[in-house]
Structure 1
Amino acid sequence: MATALCGVLITGCSNGGGGGGDAKPQAKPAAEPKPLTEDALRPLLLSQADLGTGYVQIQEKPDSGNFDDVSIQGCSALEKLGQSGDETMFAAKAETSFTYDTDATLGEELHSDRPSVLSSKLRGLFGAYTSCPTYTMTAGTTPIEVKVAKSATPELGDEQFAYTSTMDLPSGPQVLKTMAVLKGNVAVMLVGAPALVDRHMKTAVGKLPAGS
């Protein structure tokens, strides 16, 4: 602690000699970029033109509360996350989703905040989801067994996070991949069929402004 204070308060940390003329004040850390607004994020979302043929954008209201009856059992980290969901919220958010060939989906969320906040909260979020190899998700009265495994990530942006979840649904197993890439003050998160997430993440990150 004393060393850190000496770095800031040079004049108050003399080594006792008179020959301290070579000491130079440390540069002030650069200020973090401010979060973008939702209006600034929306043009950065993927579009049908970005994705190509076969994709249809889903028209829906964001945060419509469709998942209010979903609960988690068998994974304490996720249970705590659900109880304090506001801790994972960022300053601004924009989202969209698509179907592909009628039976596959791809959802995108853009989050913006200070880079240190994005990094810390994404680490916590993905750390919670990969902390338990299996857990039970109850949607209404239907329990669904979920298996989770960490996934490889591409060399994009400043930080990358990914996991794959397999849900044992009555209609059969469904595999979804969740991947996030942090670049400056924006994080791109894609959720959907693993092949679609892998295919379009580079395009999604490429739409972000160079200074973000």
Structure 2
Amino acid sequence: MRISTSGTRRWLLATALCGVLITGCSSGSGGGGSDAKPQAKPAAEPKPLAEGALRPLLLSQADLGTGYVQVEEKPDSGKFDDVSVQGCPSLEKLGQSGDETMFAAKAETSFTYDTDATLGEELHSDRPSVLSSKLHKLFGTYTSCPTYTMTAGTTPIEVKVTKSATPELGDEQFAYTSTMELPSGKQVLKTMAVRQGNVVVMLVGAPALVDRHMETAVGKLPAGS
């Protein structure tokens, strides 16, 4: 399967592991007999926030402290547009969804720390039920195969995935850790997402940085989001 990584080349490998979102499945139960009682109308869900409303909620250098440098947005050269995955049928199926399965709105930023570590943040917004179903399926898929091979260009990269513990934040939490055998050596990345209402905070990067800053990232969301 091929995963589009357009717009996120500054942390390619992290995005290749978590940058494709899929539409969650839903199933309805049919009514019983003719004497079934009317169901109460469900409460209306909060509407998605627009990208302009998400951007002020992103982490900043002031939030992170010293040693962090925000990475300037650059046009995508297309060098890493295609990433292929082998050895994990569920991931191969996931890649067929493409960009059309993204959430309603998205904002993102990324930072380097002491020049050799990265921290990327994405904020997504949609109706809470949509966020929940997609996140459950997305993280379920990425943790379904303990090992697989990812090819960036012509370089095969062996990937090992393990589920990770999550803090008690927001309404739902998801996390996994990926260990990649790169030509330059081993790289470990942690992906963690916390849903609070109609907004999801997703951090990807060095595990210590993700663990250190998730509470701050969730704390920037407005109450009741």
Q: In which range does the TM-score fall when normalised by the shorter chain?
A: 0.7 to 0.9
Q: 1:5 to 1:59 in 2, by over 3 A?
A: closer
RMSD: 10.4
* Contact in 2 for aligned 1:149/1:164 (Cα 8 Å): yes
Partner of residue 80 from structure 2, selected from 49, 67, 74: 67
Q: 1:52 to 1:136 in 2, by over 3 A?
A: same
* Contact in 1 for aligned 2:16/2:83 (Cα 8 Å): no
Q: 1:158 to 1:53 in 2, by over 3 A?
A: same
* Contact in 2 for aligned 1:7/1:25 (Cα 8 Å): no
Larger relative contact order (C-alpha < 8 A, sep ≥ 6)? 2
* Contact in 2 for aligned 1:91/1:111 (Cα 8 Å): yes
* Contact in 2 for aligned 1:70/1:140 (Cα 8 Å): yes
Q: 1:54 to 1:76 in 2, by over 3 A?
A: same
Instruction: Tell me how far 1:22 sits from its aligned partner.
Output: 16
Rg larger in structure:
1
TM-score by length of 2: 0.81
* Contact in 2 for aligned 1:88/1:121 (Cα 8 Å): no
Q: 1:7 to 1:32 in 2, by over 3 A?
A: farther
Q: 1:23 to 1:61 in 2, by over 3 A?
A: same
SS of the aligned residue for 1:10 comes to: coil
* Paired residue total: 212
Instruction: Tell me how far 1:67 sits from its aligned partner.
Output: 3.4
* Contact in 1 for aligned 2:188/2:207 (Cα 8 Å): yes
* Contact in 2 for aligned 1:98/1:105 (Cα 8 Å): yes
Using the alignment, how far apart are the partners of 1:78 and 1:68 within structure 2? 17
SS of the aligned residue for 1:163 comes to: strand
Q: 1:13 to 1:94 in 2, by over 3 A?
A: closer
Using the alignment, how far apart are the partners of 2:150 and 2:25 within structure 1? 57
Query: In the alignment, which residue of structure 1 is the partner of 2:204?
Result: 191
Q: 1:207 to 1:63 in 2, by over 3 A?
A: farther
Instruction: Tell me how far 1:211 sits from its aligned partner.
Output: 1.5
Instruction: Tell me how far 1:69 sits from its aligned partner.
Output: 1.9
**1:87-118 Cα deviation digits (max 9, x unpaired):** 64100000000000000000000000000000
Using the alignment, how far apart are the partners of 1:176 and 1:127 within structure 2? 17
Instruction: Tell me how far 1:152 sits from its aligned partner.
Output: 0.2
Identity rate of aligned residues, in percent?
90
Instruction: Tell me how far 1:23 sits from its aligned partner.
Output: 13
**1:1-44 Cα deviation digits (max 9, x unpaired):** 99999999999999999999999976432100000000000000
Using the alignment, how far apart are the partners of 1:55 and 1:3 within structure 2? 20
Between 137-146 and 66-75, report the one with greater CA deviation. 66-75
Q: 1:98 to 1:26 in 2, by over 3 A?
A: same
Q: 1:29 to 1:54 in 2, by over 3 A?
A: same
Between 18-27 and 96-105, report the one with greater CA deviation. 18-27
Between 96-105 and 12-21, report the one with greater CA deviation. 12-21
> Pairwise mapping of residues 97-116 of structure 1 onto structure 2 (< 5 A)?
97-116=110-129
User: 4+ residue stretches of structure 1 with deviation over 2 A?
Assistant: 1-28, 61-67, 85-88
Between 93-102 and 16-25, report the one with greater CA deviation. 16-25
Q: 1:9 to 1:113 in 2, by over 3 A?
A: closer
SS of the aligned residue for 1:110 comes to: strand
Q: 1:66 to 1:203 in 2, by over 3 A?
A: farther
* Contact in 2 for aligned 1:158/1:184 (Cα 8 Å): yes
